[in-house]
Structure 1
Amino acid sequence: MQARLDSPNPRKNKSQGTKEEAQELIYAALESNGPERYRLAQKALELDPSHADGYTILAEQTDSLQTAAQLFEKGMRIGRDELGEAFFHENKGYFWGLIETRPFMRAAMNYAAFLQKIGDLTAAITQYEELLELNPADNQGISYMLFISYCDDEQFRKASELLKRYPEDSAQDAYNQTLIEILSNGLTDKANQLFLAAKKVNKYVVDLLTGKKKLPADIPDYYSFGDKNEAAVYVSEHQHLWNRVPKLKEWLSN
C-alpha cells in the first residue's frame, strides 16, 4: 500500500488491452468482499496504476485514517488527470451519467468525507459543492453530507437553501427542517410546528435524540421510511448538531 502511495503519477501509455483487463479486475473487485476484493484491486493497479477505483478500494482496508485519505486523494487526482480539465467543463451537469467519471467521483466523495471528519470544513465544503455542480442529480447523496458540513460551519442560510433544492419525504428532511429553524432562529413557534410534523414522519427519532433510547451498537445499512432503522441512521449522523440546542431534552419532551 505504501508503494502505491509513493509511486509517481502513472504515464498514460498503457495499451488498450491492458487497461481493459485492469478495468475488468476493478469490476470484479467492486462485486467482491474481504481479501479477494483487495487482491483484485492491487492486481488491477499493477496493470494500470491510473485507475482511481483501485486506490479507493485499497483505502478501505487500512486502519490509518491518514493513509486512507492519501489513497483517496491520489485516486481523485489521478481520476481528474485521466479525464482532463476540458472534459470537466464540457460535461459539467451530468457527470454521473458518464460511466468513466465514476472512479473520480467515488474517490473525491471519500476524500471530502475525510476532510469533513478532521474538521477541515472549508476544503470539504468546496469539494462537496464541486461534486454537486458536476452532478446536480446527486446520485451519491452528497447533499446529505454537505448539509451537515454547512451546519458545522454555521452556514445556516446555505443549509436551508440546500434543503429546498433537494426536498424529500423522509425523516432526514423533516427533522432537518426543524433543526435549521432552531439553529437559525431559536425555539420559535415555527420550530414547534415543524417538529410536530417531523414526529409524524418518524416517531422513533425523538427517543433517540433525548437519550430515552440508545442507538444500536451497529448502525443499520438499510431502512424504510418511518421505521426504527431510519431513526437510528438519522440520529447517528445528526446528534452532534441537535446537541447544540439549549435545553434540548426538555423541549423535545414537551
Structure 2
Amino acid sequence: MKKHEAPLDLYPAVPFSDILEKTNVKDEERSMSKETEKIFKEVQKYIDENTDGEPTEEELNELIRKFVDDYNGQIPGPLTPDNAEDAEDYLELAYSSDNAKDALKYAKQALKLDPFNYDAEALVIEFKSTDVTKLVRDYEKAVKNATKHMDEEGYFEEENIGDFWAILETRPYMRLRRAYLDALVNCRMMRRAEEECKELLRLCENDNMGVRFVLMHIYAYFEDEAGALELSEKYGGYDNTQILLPMSVIFYKKGNYVKSRQYLKRLVSRNKDFVRFAKMLVGDSSDELDDIDVSYSYTPNTIEELVIEMQDNLYLFVDLIPYFDWALREAKKFK
C-alpha cells in the first residue's frame, strides 16, 4: 500500500507555511486540521494525475506551485447544504452545524456517500448513542469493521506500522479509535483502555494524538510504576506536566514519599502554577477553577493544562485531595 503522506513530509523544498498562506488556511501551530488534510489530499491527487512514474524534486515543486495557483483561482464560496457535493462537504456541514439534529443528518449523508468515512461514523455514533455503555459497544463494532477494512486495503502492512499519522488515509481511522478510547475511559473500563492506548501507540509511535498522557494516568490509577517509567523514558516526558504529576502520584500511592517528592519538585519547577492550582483544589476556592477558560486551547505547563488534566482524568484525581494537600505542604519547602 502506497503511503499518501502530507506534502510537508514528502516535499520539504516547498515550505508548508507558503501553502497555508496562499490558500488562506489558518493553522498557527501547523497541526493537521481536517481542512489542511483535505488540501493535502487534493495536492496528492493532483500530483498523481499529472505525473508518470517517480517525479524529480524539481518536478514536484513545480506541480505544487501550479496546484496553489489553480487553487487560488478556484476558492469556493461559503459551503451550504445547497452546494455540498461529497462526503467531506457534508462532514464539514455536520461539524459547523449549531444543532444536533442537523449535525446528525449531515453526518449520515456523509456516511452514505462514503461508507468508510470514519470521522462521519464517529459523529453518528456520538449523536445516536443513548448511554455511555452503548457508546462503547457502538465504537467497538465500528473499530472492528474499520480495522478489517484497513487491513484489506493494505494499511496494516509492516512498513506502515508506527507511521499511521503520516499516512493521510489512516488519520480518520486513528481518530475513530481515539474516540473509542475516550469512551472506554468514561465507562471506567480501564484495562481495556490501557490495551487500546498501547495499540494506538504501536500504530503511531510519534503519538500525534497525546495517547501517552492517557496511558500515563491509567498507569497512575493502577500504581504501575514499571509501565510508567518505561513510558516516560520512551517519550522523554520529564519536563511535561502530564507526565510529572501522575508519576508523583504513583509513588505517593505506593508510599514512596522520597520519589514522589522528586517528581513533584520537577513539576513545580516546570509548572509555576501548580501551587496556585493545589491551593484552589484543597482550599475554599476550588470553584475558582471553573472560571478558568480552557474551551479552546491552553499553554503547556500552566494552570490551564492542570485544569484540563484534572477534567480528563477525574477517575484518578477525584479521591486524591490528600495527595494535593501533602504536595502543597511539600512544595512550600522547595527553594
When normalised by structure 1's length, the TM-score is: 0.77
1:236 corresponds in structure 2 to 311
Distance 2:202 2:264 in 1: 31
Aligned partner of 2:278: which letter?
Answer: V
Question: Can you give the 5+ residue segments of structure 1 that lack an aligned partner in the other structure?
Answer: 1-19
Distance 2:328 2:156 in 1: 46
Deviation string, structure 1 residues 202-229 (Cα, Å, up to 9, x no partner): 3333224434531317872321134332
1:87 corresponds in structure 2 to 155
Q: 1:176 aligns with which of 236, 241, 246?
A: 246
Q: Quick one: structure 1 residues 194 and 149, their matched pair in 2 at CA, closer, same or farther if it must change by over 3 Å?
A: closer
8 Å Cα contact 1:202-1:227 kept in structure 2 = yes
Q: Quick one: structure 1 residues 81 and 21, their matched pair in 2 at CA, closer, same or farther if it must change by over 3 Å?
A: farther
Q: Quick one: structure 1 residues 52 and 38, their matched pair in 2 at CA, closer, same or farther if it must change by over 3 Å?
A: same
The correspondence of residues 123-134 of structure 1 with structure 2, limited to 5 A, is 123-134=192-203
Q: Is 1:249 aligned to 2:325, yes or no?
A: yes
1:224 corresponds in structure 2 to 299
Provide the identity percentage. 24
8 Å Cα contact 1:208-1:235 kept in structure 2 = no
8 Å Cα contact 2:201-2:207 kept in structure 1 = yes
- The alignment partner of 1:216 has SS state of helix
Distance 1:101 1:33 in 2: 28
The correspondence of residues 130-209 of structure 1 with structure 2, limited to 5 A, is 130-168=199-237, 169-188=239-258, 190-200=259-269, 201-203=271-273, 204-209=276-281
Q: Quick one: structure 1 residues 212 and 172, their matched pair in 2 at CA, closer, same or farther if it must change by over 3 Å?
A: farther
The Cα shift of 1:37 comes to: 3.1
The Cα shift of 1:107 comes to: 1.5
Distance 1:223 1:163 in 2: 22
Distance 1:219 1:161 in 2: 33
Q: Quick one: structure 1 residues 184 and 74, their matched pair in 2 at CA, closer, same or farther if it must change by over 3 Å?
A: same
Q: Please identify, of 120-129 and 217-226, the stretch whose mean Cα deviation from structure 2 is larger.
A: 217-226
Q: 1:47 aligns with which of 107, 113, 119?
A: 113
2:165 corresponds in structure 1 to 96
Q: Quick one: structure 1 residues 111 and 80, their matched pair in 2 at CA, closer, same or farther if it must change by over 3 Å?
A: same
Distance 1:22 1:123 in 2: 32
The structure richer in helix per residue is: 1
Structure of greater Rg: 2
Q: Quick one: structure 1 residues 76 and 167, their matched pair in 2 at CA, closer, same or farther if it must change by over 3 Å?
A: same
The Cα shift of 1:88 comes to: 1.1
The alignment of Structure 1 onto Structure 2 pairs a total of residues equal to 234
The Cα shift of 1:187 comes to: 1.3
The Cα shift of 1:76 comes to: 1.5
Q: Quick one: structure 1 residues 179 and 250, their matched pair in 2 at CA, closer, same or farther if it must change by over 3 Å?
A: closer
Superposed CA RMSD? 2.9
The Cα shift of 1:165 comes to: 1.8
Q: 1:22 aligns with which of 87, 94, 103?
A: 87
Question: Can you give the 5+ residue segments of structure 2 that lack an aligned partner in the other structure?
Answer: 1-84, 331-335
Distance 1:108 1:176 in 2: 24
Distance 2:194 2:263 in 1: 27
Q: Please identify, of 46-55 and 242-251, the stretch whose mean Cα deviation from structure 2 is larger.
A: 242-251
8 Å Cα contact 1:38-1:57 kept in structure 2 = yes
Q: Quick one: structure 1 residues 202 and 239, their matched pair in 2 at CA, closer, same or farther if it must change by over 3 Å?
A: farther
Distance 1:167 1:47 in 2: 43
Distance 2:320 2:112 in 1: 48
Runs (4+) of structure 1 moved beyond 6 Å?
A: none
Aligned partner of 1:83: which letter?
Answer: M
The Cα shift of 1:240 comes to: 4.9
Aligned partner of 1:64: which letter?
Answer: D
Deviation string, structure 1 residues 60-80 (Cα, Å, up to 9, x no partner): 334521332233223322321
Distance 1:240 1:210 in 2: 17
8 Å Cα contact 1:52-1:107 kept in structure 2 = yes
Aligned partner of 2:240: which letter?
Answer: S
The Cα shift of 1:246 comes to: 5.7
The Cα shift of 1:171 comes to: 2.4
8 Å Cα contact 1:79-1:103 kept in structure 2 = no
